[in-house]
Structure 1
Amino acid sequence: MRVQGYVIHTRPFQDDKVLVDILTREAGLIRGVWRKKTKEARVSPGSFLLLEFELSGRSELKTIRSAEALGASIQLTGTALYSAFYVHELIERLLPVNLPFEPLFILYQWLISHLGGDVPIAPLLRRFELGLFEELGVQVNMAATSRGEVLEPNQLYQLHHKFGLRPYYGEQPKVKPIVFLDGAAAMAYASGSWNNKYVLTLAKELHRAWLDLALGEKPLKSRSLLPASPYDGERLWQVPIFKLSDKV
């Protein structure tokens, strides 16, 4: 079997082998074994480089027979490199093995190509996270209330993992929401207004909550490599509150 893909993670396996996680166009996340001590392969395949792999084996763990570069490697440094490590850790921990996710593969290609350029990194990460949520089916509809009602820009809503958006009228919530936000903020997020710093801050708060729910108790190691910027804005019942209608 031949597939095109990117190396997401490698780790030692026995004396002369390496376990390799590969994000492929054809079959999603594949796990394979790479022999280092062969005439064809002295080192493991590198990251940020589109490769064509020849795989064999009927089990979930494939044998990697060969890996041939299909282009030049993208060089990442500093925060861009740490951001890529973060994305790789999300892929490795959240994607099921051997299920096609071609839209996510295309989004990953877009992400690393832009990480190598001189552009703001935060919008790239939020866009990738959103694509990951869409593929996994864990995101909440931010374009309407949980009952399908049209959002009002000045109305304040509470957002819950299970219940979605519900109008908020000042009572103490029985279940702590992820955030409070007005309709204007929710609609700006739903439309992908990543050039708005306020929407980016909202997205970071939402995505972190959704990721923590999906990942469970084991934290992401790569988060410690990225700049920490906890939310320091307005809160209600100790919950972050976002009111974009006040910003325009």
Structure 2
Amino acid sequence: MARGLLRTTTTSFQTDLIGKFTIVGYVALAEDAVTWAVRDVAAKGQTVTYAPKSLTLAQLKAIFLCTATTWGQVGGTKGRPIKPYLPQTGSGTLSFWLKALGITTAGSCVNESLEENQGLSKQFNSPNAIFIYSVGDWIAQKYNSPLPGRKPAAGQNAFGTDQVGYLGLGKINGVSALTVAKVPAINKGFRVTGFTRTLYDIVRYQAKGDHVPANLDRILGRAGYFCHNTTATKAIESYGFLPALTCGSVS
């Protein structure tokens, strides 16, 4: 995401993010998706994962409520325990995921201590593990970013701090979060799953209705730079995201 712009997925963090400033609106900028992730690389002779290729909403809910504790209960390898992980408390990805699943609190079997959108944790080097991941971050890390400590090559952005590590993305209800391409993007068809979300820029200035303030309209407005300029669109896509369907609108 463009540096210098404060990103959030929801208005609920208004006070925490800005503190003393008066927030009057969140401007839609980009679209992300979140899906589950499991190990997709393993040493020769090892089982990569015990998970199936696709999980339904009901199966995911059962996993993260701990009512399904073996992969065989959700269409995977029978008799193999599920080791579910979620990001740390305070993670926006965690909050979105739980809300999309329709649950308030994960089950007691779930480990909620790992860094969000970072796939190098040793816990993920297991065929039993399941985690969640921002699809945009996964795309940026795997295809559009340099390795940590290296300068971006031609066509790469500067987002090189995290890595997908061991993890690949799973389907929900048979729908992949990724397009079929050498360098994939978020699959627009994934919207039907209910696991896509809008990303916002925060506006500190007076706005009327669902329009950005006049002094920001050329940058953040519906016909502004971020919503209609090809260079800006490519920058958003280089971070793995799609331009928002409601780009430039204020909530």
Q: Relative to total residues, which structure has the larger strand share, 1 or 2?
A: 1
Which structure would you say has the larger RCO, counting Cα contacts within 8 Å and 6 or more residues apart? 2
By the TM > 0.5 criterion, same fold?
Answer: no
For normalisation by structure 1, the TM-score amounts to 0.23
Q: Which has the higher helix share?
A: 1
